[in-house]
Structure 1
């Protein structure tokens, strides 16, 4: 009769398979947590431009680039200077503004 060695023994523990499942679920939970954190960082934009009171005399445009915030306010002042015409803007009946750049051909 042959003697059984310790590496010849079969594993009679019925919970051994559950431990492997626990390891798999633990890896799954950690990867799900990392995916959620990555998504929350990607969903937060570095730049944003909300408009307060659009079309009103006290309209403000808030421009955010990273940590820097710039506020632009409407004014009745007219600017003068030299420049070049870049195109034409049209307001549609729906209220949308369409910009048509010049092609450069004359």
Structure 2
């Protein structure tokens, strides 16, 4: 799924990433991974949505919204009070459907 969702991605182990995650949510259909959301936390009140992806054949059916909402519920259950997400402009409507509202933020390339 990663190769079709993120062209140019090189195979790598996600174990180190998942070991540091606050939570993650995955969706499977017929034994294959079709959706995924990772949530990182700062150890206190803030959590961050990362790596949201849905297999192209599964998109536009609401799966991504359900995954993000499930990830938000899990972050809340683990003590987070704020959930952040950064996204490219073409994903704005998707994240609004998930329940996010626009805010001003800053970004620095390192």
TM-score when normalising by structure 1: 0.22
Higher relative contact order structure (alpha carbons within 8 Å, sequence separation ≥ 6): 2
Q: Which of the pair is proportionally richer in helix?
A: 2
